[in-house]
Structure 1
Amino acid sequence: MAELTTATAPEEPVAAETDGAPTAVTPETIALRRVQAALAKPAVVRTAQAMSLFGEHAGGWLAIGALGALVDRRRRGEWLTAAAGVAAAHAASIAVKRVVRRRRPADPEVQVLVGTPSKLSFPSSHATSTTAAAVLYGGLTGRKLTPVLVPPMMVSRLVLGVHYPSDVVAGSALGGVVAWGVRRFMRRRRNRG
């Protein structure tokens, strides 16, 4: 006789208690829990914390843009324009955060492993500025930086428990859109002069 198997239903959102108020446990919360369970080992957390510090307010990326302008005098204007693009991407992410007002993860099973300047989560400003920097600086260096820089930054925000997966995906998309616009501007300017 054939063995009967039963299909399991997809995980249903359940309520969790945070600060006395129940919150829904969504598929994104479950994904975040799983990322932390798999990756939040001491060495990974330390690396993610260092990446968080580097990317705070896009500071590390802006410093690289300034260094590029200092070293590559022939293309100083392009480096400064690229750095301005990174700053614009970061500013755009802050503006969207203030409109959307999504709160950061507050699940009791998700550890928050780094401080944040605000309680707002969507989109991830770190993912936004990292993607913009990877696209813009990659264009100036002739290297494909996006696959090397963006996924680790996105995953680091999940490891640290400060963003949902959709936060980092939306942040990266926003950074890519801003970088695309800045690259178009830079090409037009280069073709004119």
Structure 2
Amino acid sequence: MQNPTTGTTDDHVVDVPVLTSELKIMVAVQQKLSAPAVVRTAQLMSHAGEHAAVWIVGGAVGALVDRPRRREWIEATAAVVAAHGSSVVLKRFTRRRRPNHPDVLVHAGTPSKLSLPSSHATSTTAAVVAFGRLVGRGKLAPLVPAMALSRIVVGVHYPTDVLAGSVLGATVAGVAPRVLRRSGR
């Protein structure tokens, strides 16, 4: 008879991690969105969002082409960088490990084994808030759930990781303009 808590039997030890509710959500999402085109798109989003690269490049392009609002683009990009940096630092404190269960398929590499908060969700949300002031939030808003969902599709973040990242990104991008105004920039 198997012990449901430890996964052991009288004869041998079975080392199977518990399938938590968050892991069940991940498995369900991955099963529903398993089409190769969806997984490939999620992988491309993963690469583009690494170290907030797509948002830093986007902010630089905005600053180059929108000369009258160059300062605003630079400040918005600084907010994205600050949000990303905050998420990297916060990961060092939370120390939550990435999902690791045989039912969760991992389709992307990561620069660390830490997952909370999702830096991709953080920087994407910060970009939507900060750049949204310049181009209109409605135009960018769909990027937040798309990036968050992509992190689950590629199997590297729990749902609460992406939720926490989005909250952090919105908070930092929301506070950044006030901080810059107070500092006289």
TM-score tier (shorter): 0.7 to 0.9
Match runs of 1:30-179 below 5 Å: 30-179=24-173
Higher strand share: 1
Instruction: Give me the whole-angstrom Cα distance separating, in 2, the residues matched to 1:91 and 1:14.
Output: 38
Partner of 1:5: none
Contact 1:65 1:79 in 2 (8 A): yes
The amino acid that maps onto 1:85 is: A
Secondary structure of the corresponding residue to residue 114 of structure 1 = coil
Instruction: Give me the whole-angstrom Cα distance separating, in 2, the residues matched to 1:124 and 1:183.
Output: 23
Instruction: Give me the whole-angstrom Cα distance separating, in 2, the residues matched to 1:144 and 1:185.
Output: 25
Partner of 2:19: 25
Aligned in 2, Cα 1:145/1:135: closer, same or farther, shift over 3 Å?
farther
The amino acid that maps onto 2:102 is: P
Secondary structure of the corresponding residue to residue 18 of structure 2 = strand
Contact 1:14 1:26 in 2 (8 A): no
The amino acid that maps onto 1:106 is: N
Q: Percent identity?
A: 55
Contact 1:15 1:23 in 2 (8 A): no
Secondary structure of the corresponding residue to residue 40 of structure 2 = helix
Structure 1, unmatched stretches of 5+, are 1-12
Instruction: Give me the whole-angstrom Cα distance separating, in 2, the residues matched to 1:177 and 1:82.
Output: 13
Contact 1:68 1:76 in 2 (8 A): yes
Deviation readout 1:118-170 (Å, 9 max, x if unpaired)? 11010000000000000110101134245311000000000000000000000
Secondary structure of the corresponding residue to residue 104 of structure 2 = coil
Secondary structure of the corresponding residue to residue 108 of structure 1 = coil
Instruction: Give me the whole-angstrom Cα distance separating, in 2, the residues matched to 1:43 and 1:128.
Output: 25
Instruction: Give me the whole-angstrom Cα distance separating, in 2, the residues matched to 1:26 and 1:38.
Output: 18
Partner of 2:11: none
Instruction: Kindly state the Cα deviation for residue 172 of structure 1 after the two structures are TM-superposed.
Output: 0.3
Instruction: Kindly state the Cα deviation for residue 108 of structure 1 after the two structures are TM-superposed.
Output: 0.3
The answer to whether residue 181 in structure 2 is matched with residue 183 in structure 1 is: no
Instruction: Give me the whole-angstrom Cα distance separating, in 2, the residues matched to 1:95 and 1:23.
Output: 28
Instruction: Give me the whole-angstrom Cα distance separating, in 2, the residues matched to 1:125 and 1:183.
Output: 21
Instruction: Give me the whole-angstrom Cα distance separating, in 2, the residues matched to 1:14 and 1:127.
Output: 33
Contact 1:61 1:83 in 2 (8 A): yes
TM-score by length of 1: 0.84
Secondary structure of the corresponding residue to residue 47 of structure 1 = helix
